[in-house]
Amino acid sequence: MLAPMAVTVAELDAPVSRANTGERGAVWPLWCALGSSLAAAFGVHWDIAWHRSIGRDAFWTPPHVAIYAAAVLAAVAALAQIVPATFGQRDAHPAAVRVLGFRGPLGAFISAWGGVTMLVSAPFDDWWHRSYGLDVKILSPPHMVLALGILALHIGALVMLAGAMNRSEGARRRTLEALLLIVGGNMVIALTTVFMEKTVRPFMHLGSFYLIIGLCVPVVLSAVQGATRRRWAGGLSMGAYSIFLLVLLWTLPLVPAQPKLGPVLVPVTNLIPPEFPLLLLPAALALDAWFWRRRARPGTGTVVGGALLFTAIFLACQWPFATFLMSPPARNFFWGARYFDFWMPAFTLYRRYLFIPESGASTVGWMIGAVVGTGLSIAAGRAAGRWLARLRR
């Protein structure tokens, strides 16, 4: 009985095409890593909705529990792979790296570090609020520590899945590819959430808005496309991104809520959801098609062309869509342009449905910067994708 079991465990790090008990046992920590990624994305947006609708009434709010549960899930996913590789038979776990005397997949160590960083941010955040009062800013010191941990959690899950995917074949590989693409969408959610204060509706006719998106999004699209080598990998990740935010947009307002802090400048009776997702899907699909067409010529021309293509298509889609979101037809449940934070004054551009003004020359300058930033993002993402495609540990 022991010999067949030993063979099965040893084969987990080799390409396989059949489903057996050992394979199923090896996959569950990877599902746990995906769960931590999804829980982090959901918890953060739930927490933002809580702040916008209720205020920070306590530390152990349900959204905070969801966020730190993501850290625990990441630790479970990491330990489930590090402990057997460290204390078990080493020849049964050849796909491992060594860190501080422990052995395990590289992604497991990155996830563990991210989870620990998230947990460390908890007392820092509580002290910050006790010392400085209500904080409605995303870019605060404790939030940056938390964001760093969440980003490491996503990267760890991505690396963990890529390594396991490269050691697999058949249905198991396709499953891991799907999980990796979902994590890619979660990474875009995390990156755009960090800069949410600069990417909401009044900013969408500013060139700086397109620079921020160009720096944050194409790096992920290029990385997942290179890692999976699937033709429409970026589009699938952006589909996951869009579905996730649409579900929040249409479900959070169904949850009753009322402010517990003052002043209450907007009568709020439900949780305030995130805005309608950015129209990144068309640009992602165009970038996928461009990469596929240029797959035999992965040089500077591919990066430059991809930067121009992504920026042009995203601009062509998002600019007029932003104008629509500022119009009365968008102020309904479906499009979600009717929700405001309970503390938002009536004179703000957001409540008045107005864009931040910018001169044409300034916009052109920022758009040139957006193309350059997008090119750098694509180059970095393609390098990361090539590395992920070779990763086996």
Phi and psi of 256, rounded to 5°? Answer: -65, 145
β-bridge mates for residue 256, sequence order: 270
pTM over 0.75: yes
Half-sphere exposure of 379 (CA within 13 A, CB side): 12
Instruction: List strand residue ranges (DSSP E) for 175-222, in order.
Output: none
pLDDT at 7: 33
* DSSP label of 270: B
Cβ atoms of residues 180 and 161 within 8 Å: yes
pLDDT at 183: 96
β-bridge mates for residue 46, sequence order: none
pLDDT at 9: 33
Domain positions in the chain are: 25-194, 198-257+277-393
| Among 19, 43, 390, 7, residue whose Cα is nearest residue 227 | 390
| Lookup result for tokens 């982090």 | 40
| Among 378, 196, 178, residue whose Cα is nearest residue 277 | 196
pLDDT at 168: 86
Tokens linked to 94: 């050849």
| CA 219 to chain CA mean position, Å | 12
pLDDT at 261: 80
Phi and psi of 69, rounded to 5°? Answer: -65, -35
| 393 residues of the chain, pLDDT tens digit each | 333 333 333 333 344 333 333 344 368 888 999 999 999 999 999 999 998 999 866 677 889 889 989 998 988 888 888 888 888 766 556 667 888 888 888 888 999 898 888 888 877 777 776 766 655 566 677 778 888 999 999 999 999 999 989 988 888 999 999 999 999 999 999 999 999 989 999 999 999 999 999 999 999 999 999 999 999 999 999 999 999 999 999 999 999 999 988 789 999 999 999 999 999 999 999 999 999 999 888 889 999 999 999 999 999 999 999 999 999 999 999 999 999 999 999 999 999 999 999 998 999 999 999 999 999 999 999 999 999 999 887
pLDDT at 273: 96
Q: DSSP string covering 69-123, please?
A: HHHHHHHHHHHHHHHHHHHS-GGG--S-EEETTEEE-HHHHHHHHHHHHHHHHHH
pLDDT at 93: 60
* Amino acid residing at 304: V
Q: Could you report how far apart the first and last alpha carbons of the chain are, in Å?
A: 29
